[in-house]
Amino acid sequence: MDYIKIRLSADLDQLGSKFERNIGEMFQSMNPIFTLNERSWKPQVDIYETPEEIILLSELAGVDKDDLELEVNSSALKISGKRRFSFSQESTSYCLAEIQYGTFERILVLPSPIDTDVVSASFSNGILQIRMAKWFVDKARRIIID
């Protein structure tokens, strides 16, 4: 029989923060002024692979290349950075504000191990492309016993 572990005291704070986040998202849809505060957001990502490599594309329109950081190990990739709010006028009144600003971080588990020495990244027209060579472990070989 499987048991489900239930923690009450520690989970209440997390439940409260999730509740507050959901309420915040509800107000953002009703009144766009709530979206103007800087907060975390998640850029869209596509990951695909060929027999030799894994390719990641991320949509980062409005993010400066200098505000991006990449970290990689053999099984995961971390993309982090910041999109800065750049449009502001005193007499402006927003009718709709959907673009998200602030810091972001994505940690992505890769579909197969990669060679961390063979990774390249390019950033053009708001699209980050990361190419990672797959790491191939030598195949098993038969050993003859003398």
Mean pLDDT in the chain? 79
CATH number at residue 77: 2.60.40.790
Cβ atoms of residues 101 and 84 within 8 Å = yes
Residue partners of 39: CB distance under 8 A and separation at least 6: 100, 101, 102
Residue with tokens 């472990």: 137
Residue at 142 is within a domain: no
Neighbours of 81 (CB within 10 A): 20
What distances in angstroms separate CA 115 from CA 31, 53, 54, 66, 111, one per listed residue? 47, 9, 10, 25, 13
Residue at 85 is within a domain: yes
Query: What is the domain count for the chain?
Result: 1
pLDDT of residue 19: 59
- Dump pLDDT digits (tens) for 1-55: 444 343 434 444 454 456 555 655 555 555 544 444 556 889 999 999 999 999 9
Per the structure, the complete domain to which residue 127 belongs is given by 35-134
Burial class (CB in 10 A: 0-12, 13-18, 19+), 104: buried
